[in-house]
Structure formats: C-alpha cells, structure tokens
Structure 1
Amino acid sequence: MPPRNQWKRVPSANPDGFTFERPLGHIEQVFYWDMVLHRTADILRDAEVEVDSSLRGRALSPSTLKWAWATLKQRYPLLGASVEERSQDDIVFAVDPARLLVASPVEVAIENAHSIQEVDESVGRMLNGCSPLSNDLLACVRILERTDDPTRVHILIHSSHVISDETALNTLVREYLQLLSDPNLSSVDAPMMDLLALSSATNDLHPDSNGSPARKRWRRAAGRIIMEQRRRGQVGGHTLPRKITSDTTQAPAYSRATSAAFSPEDTKQLMQSCRTNGLTFGSVLPILGQIAMARVLCKQYLQGSMSEDEWKFRKTEPMINIGPLNLRPFVDPQWFNDGGATNASLAIGFYFCQLPFIPLGSAANLSPGSPLPSCFDMFSKARFIHRCRMMKRNIMGFMQHPLFLEMNESWLPNRIHRLRNMALTMRAGGTPSRPGLEALSPQDQAKGGFVFNHGGATLGNLDAVLPWEYRALTDNGELPTRALQLIRTRSFLHCRPMELYLGASTFRQQMKFHVFWDGNVYEEDTVQGWLQELVECAKVYLAK
C-alpha cells in the first residue's frame, strides 16, 4: 500500500456514522477544474456487445445490471464517491460506504436505440450539454438496447476524468462484462481502507516518498528547473486551419469524433514494420500526424485557399505536441503489484515535444495550381524512420529520467491556477462576450504563446486487456457457454475549447485511428481530410 495513505475515516451524519475522505491530488485538481468548466475532459467508452439469446434475460435484466455496477463500486470506491469543494484550495473525495452497496436509477439507466446512428446521437448528447455527471455522480452506465438488432446492446460507461483514465475504463468494461456473464465472480473481500489505498493520488505514490524532506525539496526544485528549460524553447507553433477569436476559450467546445480502421492484414504489416525498425507506435503516431497535416496544408495552399503570407509562416514554424502518459509503472511498485496497475482511478502524466518544420521536400517551392506531390516526394521513407526514432529517443529519455515524476508534476500548479481562475470567472457570470470579433490568423495565434499542433496517444493493443468473449457456467456446472461477445469498443472525449486530439488503438486485430475535435473551431471537412491523409501515410510508410 502507499507509504502515505491520505484517506481518513471521519464522522458523518449518514446511517453508518462515518465516511472516508482524502484531498484531491495535483492531476486530479486539474481535471476537477476542467470538470467545472462545462464538464470538459469527461470520457466515455462504448462497448458494443452481442448477447446470447438464451442468457439475455439473466445477463441484461435491470436487477443484474444494477447489481453488477454496485459490485464494481465496492471494488473501486471512487465510482461511488462525491467531490466536495469546501474552498478553492480544499477539495476532497468523500466515500459513503452505504452508497457503494446499491446502484441508483441515475447511475444505471436502460434505454432503446433504434440504430447505430441513435447510439451516436445519445453519445453526442451526453458529451455536449446533457451530461448526467456532477460532483455527486462521478460515473454512470447507460445500457442502449438496439431494437434494429435484438442481439446487440451498447454499454456506455461515462466518467469524469477526475477518477479515471483509459486504463481504468478498460478495467471497468472488462469486469462489468465478466460480472454480467458470471455472477460468481462478485466477491469483494479486501478491507475498505486497502481498496481506498489503491485509489491514492499519484503524487502520494512516489517511489522516493521515504526520502528526507530536504531530498524531496531538492528533487522537486531540480525537476521544475529542468522542465522550465525544456519548455522555454517551445514557442509559436501551428495546427490545422481553424477559426478562433480572443474569446474562443470562454465557450464550451462542441465535441466531435471520427475514426478510420485498417484491415487486419494492414494492421499486421504496420506493427511488423514498427518492430523491424525498432519503433513503438506511440513514437510513430506524432510523425504520421505531422506528415498528414503537412499534406493538408500544402493542398490548401496549392488550391489557392491559403495566402502566401500564411504559407510562408507555416513552412518555417515548428509543431508542438502534447500527450498523456501512463504513470502506473513508474510509481510505488508495491501499489502497482497490489492492483494499482489496473485500478479504476486516475494515474496519468503528460509529455510535451517539439517537432521540426513540416516536411515538404519537392513541395517547398511549388506555386498555387501545381499538383500535390507524393508522400515520398515530400518526405522519404528513410527520413520518416529517422524522425520516428528521434521521437522515440525523446519520449524514452523523458520517461527514463531520474526526475521524471518531479518533472511531470512541476507544471501542474500553474495549470491548476489558470483553470481555477477560468472556472471561478465562469461561475461569477463570465466575461461578457464580444460579438463580431475578428478571427485570429495563425501568425497572431502563435504570438499569444505556443500553439499545440494536436494532442494524442495510442491506447495500445486492447486485445491484450479486453477479452472478446465472456462466458457463464451452465446450470449444472458444466463447460461454460458464451454469454456475451465484445464486438467493438469506442472511446469518446469531451473536448477542451480548441482541442484537436489523435488517438490509436487495436482491437480484434484491427488498428483504428480516432480523432476528437472542437467543432466550433475546426471544419469537419478539414479534419476528415487530415484523417484520410493519416491513413494513407501509415500505409505508404509502414504497410507497403
């Protein structure tokens, strides 16, 4: 268990006479203030499931669905926690043991969907203004039964980012389906304090937590200085063409999502090419994103829809990326081995990287009206592999740094301060909107500080953590029968204002690219064009 378990048992007016509390950690505070700002960064996982008709009545009955969710809350108490904001600097999780024993109607709801389009519409409503989540409801599940295909059901697990990440959602999907298939898996024997300890804040899980106070202060100071030096050169930058004004960050994002899948054959070739060249797909994805974006930008210039001044600016401007990192393998090893590796809680950090100018090759001196060159004419395969290896070295160098955790935390206080001020301003009525503001040019956007090209990360091979089939014992205890089959899993994100996010994952041996974006800022045609180029670049550089 963590060397410093911050959970405390405190008196309460509830029937048990007590609750458990702990303060939010640093990254949790970041996502809490995101949550206050129009539910920004809430995450949702759609598990599309095929149900055995003979077991449907048992596996998907309202009582079973609620019982299984209550069981998950007992395993992972943050699912049933609330957040209490006692002051701007005193925000705590509160866990009432009685709330973990039952699932309320607002936590588990069953609805009909007449098509996959209606499923997508339900997801859109949950992410864009009709979220059931609140400080008193940090996670819930929606069961959408497909009337156009009675064998299909969609299980939507919707969560505030303050208590979960993608690793947590994998755990919740897997174990919820296991419980629905086989109720015999339901036992929760660990003491409450041990379960709560697994849901500790990552800043309480440092491997060096037993060091002297002086050593800890030195490590924090050194980590902050190193991070400041690394980020000092990250200025300017640009992204896909977008429409923003100086007021854009004050409006909630209109979250949009799209995806594209590779065939199993192409997926196999992509991964084999990465292995052959000593690459991880996490190091490849940002480079593919940059090349694909270079082609979108170049195409717009050649078609006459981008000015000469803007094109000249973009050709010499670096690109700055940000992405989440799984911190679980880097914190307290005992916590990790005791269950922290897959616990339903939040345990992420972030990396920042700056890429060189966009790769143009023969396109650098073309004029409007010229045809778009091929991928290899703009960027050779040898240079592509070199840049991917450079990205891998940079990411690995950051993650293997002795002060990795301190560096990761060093920028969080400023982030918390900025988000808190924005949230409190919004609560007070917000800054009056100023209609008619002119859109900022890419050059003007870069003058206001660095511009993220896009965020992004790969979720890896989900086949390793999400079984395709979930079996139940027959009534006479013989060989198990398949009760549920996981057909597809999709991730969704409530975007931040101006956000553009690229993800990748593999499930059922098919890699998929996911793009999430603020529809108030980016045109759908532009994003879809980028996604098409991403797929084509991946095939050209890795699958052919």
Structure 2
Amino acid sequence: MSLRYGLPTPPPLSNEEYKEYVDSVIPCASKSTVNHQSRKEPAIRYERKMGDTELSYFLPSRQYLHLGFHAPERLVRRARVCIVWAILRLRHPLLSASVEMHDYDDVRFLYDAPSSVDAALASANANLEYRADTKDELIDSYLNGSRTLSNERLSYLVVSQPADSIMPTPPRTPSPSRTARTNTEVAQSESGEYQYDLLICAMHFLGDGMALHQFANDFFGLLGGEHSDEDLTDMLRLEWDVRWGTNTYRSDGIIPATLEDSLPVPSTSSFRRAAEHVDFQLSQSSLLGGQTFPKQKHPERHTVVPTFSIPHSRTKAILKKCKEQGVSISAALFAVCNVAWARMGGGKKELPAMMYSALNLRPYFARASQKVAEKALWDSYWFLAIGYFNVVLPNFLPAGAQEATFWHRARQAKAQSAGAAKNRFIVSRTREMAKERGTRARAWGKEDDERERGTWVPPADTPKPPSVKDILPARAPVPSAALIGLSLLGNLDGTYAHATFPAIKLHTLTTGSRQRHGAMLLFGYTFKGKLWVSLGYDENGFKEGVVERFWEEVENCVEEFLG
C-alpha cells in the first residue's frame, strides 16, 4: 500500500534564514512583530479519525486544478502569493494537516496549530513552488511523475511562468490585413501582463470539487483584489491572532467533521434501520451494467487528458438548445457518452450501459448549533461531501431518428439523476455505501501491503451472513459494471467571481486527478462562457485505439446533436 512516500521536500529554514526571508520578501512584517511572534510556544495538536468515505479515498486520490491566467507581475510575486496561501491554510486546517495510519481502520488527520505568524508563513512557503513549465508540462508531471503529495504533505501550490512568456503579452504577428496592435494588446503590454499557470494540488480525501473551486475563487479574490501586500500581511496577522493568539486549546470544531457525522443522526428505530438496510440492498441489486472498455495489463501507468472547448457563441446556442429540450448540459453529456459507445458497437446490445457520477451531499447536512462568531471562524468548506449515483441507458440505437433518440436518452439521464438526489433514502443510502466502501478500502489496503511483502494468502471461503437477497425470489446473476464515470461540474462561472479580481484574467481551467492503473473519468463544465469537455485516462491501461475512437465519437456527438 506504500502509505508513506519518500518525497523531495524543501529543507526547513533555520531561524536566521527565515528572519532574512521575512525581511527581504515581506517587508511589511516588521522586525518587532517577527521577534515577538517567533517565541517558542508549546505545540497545539488536534486529531480526528477518518470516516469511511474519507478512508475509501485515502489510497488512490490525488486531485488537481489547473488555471491559466494573465496578470501583472506585481500580483504574482512569491511574497504576495505566499501570504495569500498562508491565510487560506489558516482558514482551512486540513490543507496543512498530515495523516498518520495506526491500523487499517484507524487512519487519523493530525493538525498542529501554527505557533506564530512566522510559522504559518514558513509552512506556506515550504508547500509553494515556482516553475517555468507550460500547462501541459505541469499537468503531465503531476499525473505521471514522482508523487507531489504524501501523508506529510496533503496540499501543494505550484505557480509557473512558462519560459516563452517572460516578456509581456506580445502582439500578434503582423499581416497584410492586420498591421497595427489592438487596444487590448497595447493595454496588456503597458500594464505588464504575463501568462501564468497555477496548479492547486490536494489529496481528494480533504475535499471534493466544490471545495477545490471555491478555494481557487477565494485565492484569486485575495491575490487580485484591492489589498496591498501590507494589507494582506495585516490580514494574516489577524487570522492567526483570532485563532491562536491566546494559545488556548479548543476541544472541537477545528478539523471539519466527517461526512457521516455531518449527516442527520441515524434513526434509533430498529424497524427503520432494517428498512433502510433493505432499501440499500435492493437499490444495489437493481444496478445493471454490461458495458466496459476492454483493458490490458501494462507495467506502467500513463495518464493523459485530451480536452476540447466550445467557443462562447456556440456554447450559448448549446445551452439554449438544451433548455428547449428540457435538460441541462450535464444530462446531455450522459447521452453523448451513451450514443458514442453504442455507435462503436463495443458490447452486447442487449446489455445496457451504466455510468456513474458524483452527488453533492452538502444540502443534506445537519449543522450543529454554534455561536455565530465561532461558526464563521471555523466553518471551513474543505471537507468531503459527495456520494454517487448511477445512470443506466440502453446500448442500442434505432436505425433512424437518431437525434430524437439522443434527446430522449438525455431526458432519461435527467430523470434518473433527479430521482437519486430526491430519494427519501438518500441519507441512509449514503451511510450504507460509506460503510461498504470503507470495508473494501481496508481489505484492499491490507491485501496491497501483504502482496508487497509477499505474504498475501487468498482468504478461505467462509459462509456469508444472511442478506436481503436470500429472501428474494432467485434471479440469474447479472453484470453491474460501469462503463465510465462523469464529473459534471456545471457552470463554474457561478463559482468564480471574476469581477472581484479584475486585474487577473482567467482563461483556461483543467481539473482531474492522479489516477490508478486503468482508470477513466470524463469532465464537463462551462467556464468563461465556454463548454469544456476532457477525458482523463490511463492510456496504457486500455486496448489500443479503443478510447481514442470513443473520444472521437464523443466529439462527433457534441457536434451533431448539441450544435
């Protein structure tokens, strides 16, 4: 299982080196403040055991978010970025926590409260890196290179200024039809705008996509807002002081609660608990999926992320068309994958295709009553709050009326998605699924470790405990394999408040995760008014040419049906 990785970590700064660093790159942190807050204080440590959902993500999950943007150099200096990064790490403790494994069912978050402003800055600086890589180099390095994250480093920030963008944004190459620079280009040159790439790396068990994008918005809001470096430093001091200035231990609420503990308290009724268990078993036994991409064994994993985007005007037309058909783009993308696979004829026509997606569980949380000030201070959004649902669609296409079939499938996907989100048993199903995923994760983790040591022995056949299936009429076994997973993020322009950081112009967004062997996940979202679709997959884990053909059919379906 290799839970602890020997990663290249920047060496810690000595006291003298750090004071020199503060004086040189953060001049607004006065010597008196540094000396006062550099006093040694006893460490305050908090810890919490992982819940089943977090544990199920513990091994294979390392997500990332890439954002490309133009900005003046003064806003992206290391000193300023480091302060903003430190502020957000104070607000969201899991970002600067670590993980310690005691046993397969006892994995814990550890959070050491920073003893001073200096300590918070040093921690942020040690987990911040500047490079001169392109977007593709950054993503490929994270997905396929040595591991960036570990149990000791749960989050990391990379800022890159590609070598070919050291000069301010240049004008386009002159041509007979275009000999003068546009007003925009002149403004960019005069304001000193440069191309930058930001890579936010975080373990997936820290939080879901909602947390990742909300964090990016807050990051740019501080970085590109009206605050001067001095204002941000004062803000950092205040953030530390209101949390840790009194150096007192707070018994609860520092580390966000587990998903399971955030849901409404389970019923004490034994009858209701039995009914909920039966409902979960029946819902699982009803899943039918007989389509899978043919895989192949390969000693090395290599993840690629082909991506295409739709221009603003065309995206607007697509949104209008989806609305006229009574569906969202998310529902349409289920139909795109379904029709693309059916056109390939990759599986038995009589078996349907099952696809899965994430379900935001935040609306189902039961918040404990807290004082308003205390709640605002520790109400971090960095936590895991997702469940899963499945969409099952036919794997055949009629000879004619392809477009009508496509939109019918999209409406089926919408109905199944809504049915999962509004199901009266959604909370109990989430709990049951978390238990099941946690049990599997512990078993797989133990097996992985034993295989590495050469001590693994297949478990002996043991009688299975009675289950709901034992009292149901006997049915022939059916396959329940998923074809593909879809991460449908919706309209991200509703998350990114671009007007709050006017000097920073975001233009590209790519998200995904460092995946296990043979993994695949399709992403769909709108950003900067454009529809983006990407497919992250291990190109060595599938039969040659199959995924490439599927991706081509996906593009064809988007072109043909969405317009």
TM band (smaller chain): 0.7 to 0.9
The answer to whether 1:204 aligns with 2:234 is: no
- Range moving further from structure 2, 123-132 or 333-342: 333-342
Helix, strand or coil at the partner of 1:134: coil
**What code does the residue aligned with 2:257 have?**
S
- Pair 1:153–1:344, CA change in 2 (3 A): same
| Deviation digits for residues 385-440 of structure 1 (CA, Å, limit 9, x no counterpart) | 222222222221221122202112212223222222222232234387xxxxxxxx
From 254, 268, 272, the equivalent of 1:214 is: 268
| Deviation digits for residues 209-253 of structure 1 (CA, Å, limit 9, x no counterpart) | 2x6x514x5555433321221221335512234325xxx7xx774
From 479, 489, 492, the equivalent of 1:462 is: 492
- Pair 1:106–1:524, CA change in 2 (3 A): farther
Match of 2:408 in 1: 386
Helix, strand or coil at the partner of 1:345: coil
Q: How does 1:311-326 map to 2 (within 5 A)?
A: 314-326=348-360
How far apart in 2 are the matches of 1:470 and 1:489?
Answer: 18
Helix, strand or coil at the partner of 1:101: helix
Match of 2:293 in 1: 240
The answer to whether 1:396 aligns with 2:401 is: no
- Pair 1:148–1:382, CA change in 2 (3 A): same
Please report the RMSD computed on the Cα atoms of aligned residues, expressed in angstroms. Answer: 3.0
* Equivalent residue pairs, number: 454
Helix, strand or coil at the partner of 1:349: strand
Match of 1:450 in 2: 480
Helix, strand or coil at the partner of 2:504: strand
Q: Is the 8 A contact 2:519 2:537 kept in 1?
A: yes
Match of 2:120 in 1: 101
How far apart in 2 are the matches of 1:530 and 1:465?
Answer: 31
How far apart in 1 are the matches of 2:272 and 2:429?
Answer: 9
Identity of aligned pairs, percent? 22
How far apart in 1 are the matches of 2:252 and 2:410?
Answer: 40
- Pair 1:220–1:506, CA change in 2 (3 A): farther
**What code does the residue aligned with 2:206 have?**
I
Q: Is the 8 A contact 2:86 2:124 kept in 1?
A: no
Q: How does 1:21-100 map to 2 (within 5 A)?
A: 21-32=47-58, 35=59, 40-52=60-72, 56-57=73-74, 59-98=75-114
Match of 1:488 in 2: 508
From 120, 127, 136, the equivalent of 1:120 is: 136
How far apart in 1 are the matches of 2:326 and 2:204?
Answer: 33
Gaps of 5+ in 2: 1-39, 167-193, 245-249, 455-476
> What TM-score does the superposition give when structure 2 sets the normalisation length?
0.74
**What code does the residue aligned with 1:350 have?**
Y
Match of 2:542 in 1: 522
Helix, strand or coil at the partner of 2:531: strand
From 346, 349, 370, the equivalent of 2:387 is: 349
Helix, strand or coil at the partner of 1:483: coil
| Deviation digits for residues 105-155 of structure 1 (CA, Å, limit 9, x no counterpart) | 441011112xx3xx3223222222412211111101011111211311111
Gaps of 5+ in 1: 1-13, 299-310, 363-376, 433-446, 472-481
Higher Rg of the two aligned structures: 2
Q: How does 1:35-434 map to 2 (within 5 A)?
A: 35=59, 40-52=60-72, 56-57=73-74, 59-98=75-114, 101-102=120-121, 103-113=123-133, 116=134, 119-150=135-166, 151-182=194-225, 183=227, 184=231, 186=235, 188=239, 191=243, 196=253, 199-206=256-263, 208-209=264-265, 214-215=268-269, 218-235=271-288, 237-244=290-297, 253-295=301-343, 297-298=344-345, 314-332=348-366, 343-356=381-394, 358-362=395-399, 377=400, 380-430=402-452
How far apart in 1 are the matches of 2:492 and 2:379?
Answer: 15
The answer to whether 1:20 aligns with 2:46 is: yes
**What code does the residue aligned with 2:224 have?**
S
| Deviation digits for residues 446-469 of structure 1 (CA, Å, limit 9, x no counterpart) | x99532100013111111111335
Q: Is the 8 A contact 1:285 1:457 kept in 2?
A: no
- Pair 1:149–1:494, CA change in 2 (3 A): same
> What TM-score does the superposition give when structure 1 sets the normalisation length?
0.76
